[in-house]
Chain A
Amino acid sequence: MKFRRVAQRWLATGVLAIAAIVVAAPALATKQTAKHTPPVTKTSTVPDEYIVKAIGSKSAPITMEVFSDYQCPSCGSLYEQTLKPLISDYVASGKVYLVHHDFPLPLHKYGYEAARWVNAAAVAGKYPEVEAALYDNQAAWSADGNIQKYVAAAMSPVDFRRVAKMMEACPPPAAGVTPASYSQAGKPAHGCPFDASIEKDKALGNTVPVSATPTFRFYYKGKTYGPMSGVVSWPIMKQFLDQVMSQ
């Protein structure tokens, strides 16, 4: 008798819960999507105007967008543990197109300056090399601010002279001036040609919204996955990428 009552109660609960999930799921899913889709994801990929620093083939099935600060330790960990194997494996084999966006945080003294150097290097076609050099030596230049040393080591003297020439228009931060005060409302407060690109990336990041670095998201077949923040190990990210591509 007792068993029968218990079984009836389980059955009723199960049926009710499944019915509620089946009825509510599609409606909730649609509502959630509409609420969280930022304007830029309407294109279901990264608009060209935002692609300044990217690695891989644009025709790769998956696009991964990463918002990071070169001085942020977690961004360094993500790069060293996850993005390096991603670049040598899935980016090299044409499965993933990796797009970087600058999101220098005011609390990092040299983050903005590092982003300028990387943008200058990107103009000279040396973005992947300089990005790797800055993350590999993050602790060193974060301590003394000597970013130039590692940028120079990542390219030929001829290329470095070209990059250094471009950087002449970008004065180093004056004493007491934090990187956040370089520009107002997206307009560069001086003649550094790379600040507009950095500010554009930051504005894009704010629409995601990026609240911490690193933040990343993925695009596949018109669908957007993410954003997510933090450091994820390569085996786990690889599993996600394989799963997405198997759909």
Chain B
Amino acid sequence: MAATPRSQTGRILLLIGRIALASIFLVAAYGKLKPQAPGPWSVGSMKTSLSMFAMQVDSFQLLSSSSADLVAHTLPFFELFLGLWVLSGIVLRLSSLVSTLLLGGFFATLIRTYLMGLEINCGCFGPGERLGPKRLALESLMLVLSLGVTIGAFIMARRKSAPAESTTSAVGLEQAR
């Protein structure tokens, strides 16, 4: 027995959304960790990139210097982990929920900063991006995508556990998860 067309479409959409969401986090982590001046990758270049990212976090004037430093040195690695987690599809409900909460937090911070009139760089995907309406629009799209993946993951999991679903569909959904 084959999966219904509706669940098949849902699975494909969820897969696309999952890859897109994971890419966002992987690209964001890459942008923060890559050498900020021309040169090869090294531990030193990565440390410099992170200390430069710390300046960007600090310019948001939201955290103390020590907290900004801590966030700057952990966030890129967490984004890398989250990207891989979402990409793997393991416990997608949880990984997408964490993504949505994280992106929601970023969005709230950016809105606050914009309303405060601080003309700073976003630092979301590395240096040089000015925080403005365009950035906010992109950030809101990412939040919508994450929210969509989260809802999709919960719906799929619910369908899987529903007794009306066929065994074949359930196996397919398990693979999608």
From A52-60, A113-121, A189-197, A222-230, give the one contacting chain B: A222-230
- When the two chains form their complex, are residues B90 and A211 in contact, meaning their CB atoms are under 8 A apart? no
- Name the interface residues of B52-69: CB closer than 8 Å to any CB of A: 52, 54-56, 58-59, 61, 65, 68-69
**Looking across the interface, which residue of chain B has its beta carbon closest to that of A214?**
B119
Known contacts A17-B84, A232-B55, A239-B51: does B89 contact A9 (CB below 8 Å)? yes
B120 near A: Cβ within 8 Å? yes
**Looking across the interface, which residue of chain A has its beta carbon closest to that of B60?**
A230
A235 near B: Cβ within 8 Å? yes
Interchain CA distance A238-B54 in the complex, whole Å: 11
- When the two chains form their complex, are residues B90 and A230 in contact, meaning their CB atoms are under 8 A apart? no
**Looking across the interface, which residue of chain A has its beta carbon closest to that of B118?**
A230
Q: How many residues of A sit at the interface, in one of the four size bands?
A: 35 or more
- When the two chains form their complex, are residues B58 and A236 in contact, meaning their CB atoms are under 8 A apart? yes
**Looking across the interface, which residue of chain A has its beta carbon closest to that of B91?**
A6
State the Cβ distance, B65 to closest chain A Cβ, in Å: 5
Q: Total interface residues on B, using CB and 8 Å? A: 38
- When the two chains form their complex, are residues A236 and B84 in contact, meaning their CB atoms are under 8 A apart? no
From A21-29, A127-135, A159-167, A168-176, give the one contacting chain B: A21-29
- When the two chains form their complex, are residues A246 and B44 in contact, meaning their CB atoms are under 8 A apart? yes
Question: Which residues of chain B are near A28, meaning CB under 8 Å?
Answer: 30, 34
A231-247 near B? 1/0 per residue, CB < 8 Å: 11101110110011011
State the Cβ distance, A62 to closest chain B Cβ, in Å: 12
Question: Which residues of chain A are near B90, meaning CB under 8 Å?
Answer: 6, 9-10
A33 near B: Cβ within 8 Å? yes
Interchain CA distance A37-B59 in the complex, whole Å: 23
- When the two chains form their complex, are residues B119 and A74 in contact, meaning their CB atoms are under 8 A apart? yes
Residue from the list A10, A32, A226 in contact with B88, Cβ < 8 A: A10
Question: Which residues of chain A are near B34, meaning CB under 8 Å?
Answer: 25, 28-29, 32
Interchain CA distance A231-B84 in the complex, whole Å: 34
- When the two chains form their complex, are residues A212 and B128 in contact, meaning their CB atoms are under 8 A apart? no
Known contacts A9-B90, A229-B121, A235-B65: does B52 contact A240 (CB below 8 Å)? yes
Residue from the list A36, A230, A233 in contact with B120, Cβ < 8 A: A230
- When the two chains form their complex, are residues B44 and A236 in contact, meaning their CB atoms are under 8 A apart? no
- When the two chains form their complex, are residues A243 and B51 in contact, meaning their CB atoms are under 8 A apart? yes
Known contacts A10-B88, A236-B54, A240-B52: does B119 contact A229 (CB below 8 Å)? yes
Question: Which residues of chain A are near B65, meaning CB under 8 Å?
Answer: 233, 235-236
Known contacts A232-B55, A236-B69: does B128 contact A227 (CB below 8 Å)? yes
Interchain CA distance A227-B89 in the complex, whole Å: 38
Question: Which residues of chain B are near A244, meaning CB under 8 Å?
Answer: 48, 51
- When the two chains form their complex, are residues B88 and A13 in contact, meaning their CB atoms are under 8 A apart? yes
Question: Which residues of chain B are near A239, meaning CB under 8 Å?
Answer: 51, 54, 69
**Looking across the interface, which residue of chain B has its beta carbon closest to that of A10?**
B88
- When the two chains form their complex, are residues A228 and B51 in contact, meaning their CB atoms are under 8 A apart? no
Question: Which residues of chain A are near B119, meaning CB under 8 Å?
Answer: 74, 211-213, 229-230
A14 near B: Cβ within 8 Å? yes
B130 near A: Cβ within 8 Å? yes
State the Cβ distance, B72 to closest chain A Cβ, in Å: 9
Residue from the list B36, B87, B118, B128 in contact with A74, Cβ < 8 A: B118
Question: Which residues of chain A are near B35, meaning CB under 8 Å?
Answer: 29
